[in-house]
Amino acid sequence: MKISILDLSGQKIRDVELPSQFSEEFRPDLIQRAVLAVQSNKRQPYAASRLAGKRPAAKLSRRRRKYRGSYGIGISRVPRKIMTRRGTRMNWVGAFAPGTVGGRRAHPPKSEKIWIKKINDKERMKSIRSAIAATISRESAAARGHIPPENYPFALDEKFESLDKTAKVIDALVKLGFEHELDRASHKNVRAGKGKSRGRKYKKKKGPLIVVSELGKMAYSASNIPGIDVVEAKNLNAELLAPGGKPGRITIWTSSALNDMKEKKLFC
C-alpha cells in the first residue's frame, strides 16, 4: 500500500510504499490484551495500614463473675471498648471487629499482591503491528471519535521534526486539516465521583499521535498541545496506538519514522 508524503503546507510531495508492518491482520482481541499488560505494569501497589482499625483496646471478658465482663448482660459476643461507666455498668461500643464502626476491614488490600499481567513476546509484537495497521484506517479513527482530515491517511516530510515552536506546530497541523481534531481534544470535563479529590479532576480526550525518528525540538514544542503525544518509532506500544484498548487513533507519521520502521524492521 502506498501513502502520500505532504509538506508543512499540506502539498503532496511524493508517494512512498508503506512498510510491511502496516499490512498486519486486524486483531482487536490481541490489542486489548497488550494494552492491559502495559497498564498493569504501570500500576503502583497499595495497601492499608497493618494497624488500621486495630488501635483501640477492645478486649472484653466473657467469664462468669468477671469485673467489667459481659457475662449475663444479654449482649452479643462482639469486641467492645468502654466509653463511660457508672459503677459496674459499662457503656460499651463495638470496635475492632469488621462489622463494627471504625473496625478493621475483613480483607484489606495488600501491597504484596501482584498486579502484572503477562503476554507472550510474539503476541505483543503482533498486537503492536495490528495497532499500527489500524492507524491508517479512516473508519477506525472515526469510530474512536476522531475527526480526520479528508485526505487522511498521509505522512509528513521529515522537516516537520525540526519545528521548534508550539505555534509553528499548531499552524502546521491546522494547514493539514487537524483544526477540528485539535478543538475536540482541547475540551475537558470534570470527572464524576471521588476521583476529583484524588488528583484526577478532569477527563481529557486523546488527540493525534505523532511518530518521529528521534525526539528533537518538535517533541518539546508539541508537548503543550492538549491531547497530542510524541513518540519515537522504536518506543511505540499498544497503549499509545490504541488508548483504552480501542484501536484507530489518528497517527501522524514522518517519512524518517517510516524509514526506521522499514530499515530496522521494528516489531517484526
Q: Phi/psi of residue 59, each to 5°?
A: -80, 130
CB-based contact 254:211 (threshold 8 Å): yes
What are 146-196's pLDDT values in tens digits?
999 999 999 999 999 999 999 999 999 999 999 999 999 999 999 999 999
Instruction: Give the model's pLDDT for residue 213.
Output: 93
Write down the domain spans for the chain: 2-41+115-190+197-263, 44-113
User: What average pLDDT does the chain have?
Assistant: 93
CB-based contact 155:10 (threshold 8 Å): no
Instruction: Give the model's pLDDT for residue 105.
Output: 94
- What's the whole-model pTM score? 0.84
**How many angstroms separate the CA atoms of 73 and 67, rounded?**
12
88 confidence band (pLDDT: 50, 70, 90): confident
Instruction: Give the model's pLDDT for residue 24.
Output: 95
What are 23-40's pLDDT values in tens digits?
999 999 999 999 999 999
Q: What is the CA radius of gyration of the chain?
A: 29
CA triplet 139, 144, 148: central angle to 5 degrees? 60
Out of 1.10.1040.10, 3.30.70.20, 3.40.1370.10, 3.40.50.2300, which CATH number does the structure's domain 2-41+115-190+197-263 have?
3.40.1370.10
> 104-112: which pairs have CB atoms within 8 A and are 24 or more residues apart?
104/52, 104/53, 104/54, 105/48, 105/52, 105/53, 108/47, 108/48, 108/52, 109/46, 109/47, 109/48, 110/47, 111/45, 111/46, 111/47, 112/45, 112/47
Instruction: Give the model's pLDDT for residue 66.
Output: 86
